[in-house]
Amino acid sequence: MGKPAFCIIADDVSYPRVAKDFARHPSLSFSRLAEAFERDGSRDPANGECYTFPDGSSLLMIGQTKQLEDACKEADEAGIRRIATQSHRVMGLRFVRLDVGWDETNTLIAIGAKDLLPVWSPDGWREHKRPWEEDYLLTADRVDAIYSLPPMIRGMKDFWDEGWFMKT
């Protein structure tokens, strides 16, 4: 089983295969969400539980559903309770499900300012069915909050598991 990977990147992530390469690149990615924020993000001075990344960047996450949920839990326990862009723009999320072989499926997620994320395409990124118009995401697992990342991650598997996959 592959390990999860996380990176914050300002490069073009319009193509999921390119985004996957960024997310897995040894010099760009980290095995923990907190490490990605340590290098390329910052703590919001107005809210110490909110970590931000540059407006023109994307936070990339890749791994199996449970790995990504565990990463959110670990980040929440480390005090990273909210994720936002530096100027608190309305957030968006795109994803693809990746068939990586050996009966293993990964999910690749791109999070960023909604108006700057790649568009949905029949053979590329999907937009999550759980709409929200907030300027942040929660790392806590709260099914009562539509802007909570762990239920969104589970939804990608639950709603798309038998549907569309991109071969790696």
Q: Taking the model in full, what pTM does it have?
A: 0.92
144: Cα within 13 Å, side-chain hemisphere: 0
Q: Which residues pair with 8 in a beta bridge?
A: 59
Percent of the chain scored above 70 by pLDDT? 92
Model pLDDT for residues 79-107, shown as the tens digit of each residue: 999 999 999 999 999 999 888 777 788 99
C-beta of residue 20 within 8 angstroms of C-beta of residue 62: yes
Q: Which residues pair with 127 in a beta bridge?
A: 94
- Round to whole Å and give the CA distance between 143 and 150: 8
Confidence of residue 162 (pLDDT cuts 50, 70, 90): very low
Percent of the chain scored above 90 by pLDDT? 70
What pLDDT is attached to residue 103?
75
Average pLDDT of the chain? 89
Per-residue pLDDT averaged across 132-147, rounded? Answer: 91
* Identity of the amino acid at 20: K
